[in-house]
């Protein structure tokens, strides 16, 4: 199995693991970002708190809850002075959506075990001082406010790997709660984008590797929600559809 997989990676030009470094197309951003600002303001009722956590320069990781396909658009309502790069699943970088994602800073990563190419790209993005978005729950969950799925350790592990290799660079992880008035968004839904206090990977880098990853993951999980819930993504969607008539949760 292993040699066959690696063979595909090595020889198949269109394999998603063989990727160019992510970039943001300047001409596409110049067209879409102004339209995005106007559309989001008119279509939703958005409240942003904690925006001071985003510095004008230097690398950072945004670690938001994942509650809707709109999540990335709402992050840009809070981060208005920096470009963002996104770690996304492979099914999001195919077809027309994939063409768009790759030109707006998206690059694929395997959920269960980060592929070497994604790890290398992560380091490149952080080393040049850019902002990177990682959804630490690993999937989309239609939960109520305050609920969080058990986090995957990948975000903490990646941050610690970089921090240990570049101890002079302080890499903050900024937890972001995306709180939606309707679990299934609609026109005029109320949205809260809540940026928490940054968690410094440097504070954990001195611990043994496994302990550091576990401790940093736990700290991030506490910042993202009070209630840990283990409902699957599919079941959470079915529940959201069933509860749609209940109205606002904010």
Q: Per the confidence metrics, is the pTM higher than 0.75?
A: yes
The strand pair at 84-88 and 172-180 is best described as unpaired
Which pLDDT score, from 0 to 100, does residue 44 have?
Answer: 95
The series of mean pLDDT values per 10 residues for the chain, 250 residues long, is 35 44 78 87 94 87 93 90 84 69 78 74 90 92 94 94 91 96 91 96 95 97 95 89 62
Q: Calculate the CA dihedral of residues 239, 244, 245, 250 and round it to 10 degrees.
A: 110
Integer Cα distance of 119 and 36 in angstroms: 30
Integer Cα distance of 59 and 174 in angstroms: 11
Could you say which architecture CATH assigns to the domain 58-246?
A: 3-Layer(aba) Sandwich (3.40)
Where in the chain are the domains? 58-246
Which pLDDT score, from 0 to 100, does residue 13 have?
Answer: 39
Which pLDDT score, from 0 to 100, does residue 245 have?
Answer: 57
Q: What are phi and psi of 77, to 5 degrees?
A: -80, -20
Which pLDDT score, from 0 to 100, does residue 91 have?
Answer: 67
């Amino acid at each position: 199995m292993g040699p066959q997989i690696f063979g595909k990676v090595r020889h198949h030009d269109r394999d998603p693991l063989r990727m160019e470094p992510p970039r943001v197309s300047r001409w596409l951003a110049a067209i879409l970002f102004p339209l995005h600002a106007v559309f989001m303001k008119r279509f939703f009722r958005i409240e942003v708190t904690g925006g001071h956590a985003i510095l004008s320069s230097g690398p950072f990781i945004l670690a938001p809850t994942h509650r809707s396909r709109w999540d990335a658009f709402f992050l840009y309502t809070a981060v208005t002075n920096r470009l963002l790069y996104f770690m996304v699943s492979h099914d999001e970088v195919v077809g027309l959506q994939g063409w768009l994602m790759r030109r707006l800073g998206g690059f694929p990563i395997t959920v269960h075990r980060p592929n070497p190419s994604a790890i290398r790209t992560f380091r490149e993005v952080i080393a040049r001082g850019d902002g990177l978005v990682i959804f630490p729950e690993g999937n989309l969950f239609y939960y109520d406010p305050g609920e969080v799925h058990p986090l995957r350790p990948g975000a903490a592990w990646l941050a610690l790997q970089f921090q240990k290799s570049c101890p002079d660079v302080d890499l903050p992880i900024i937890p972001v709660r995306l709180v939606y008035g309707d679990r299934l968004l609609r026109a005029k839904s109320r949205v809260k984008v809540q940026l928490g206090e940054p968690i410094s990977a440097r504070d954990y880098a001195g611990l043994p590797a496994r302990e550091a990853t576990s401790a940093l993951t736990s700290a991030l999980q506490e910042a993202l929600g009070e209630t840990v819930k283990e409902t699957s993504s599919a079941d959470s969607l079915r529940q959201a559809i069933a509860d749609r008539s209940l109205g606002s949760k904010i």
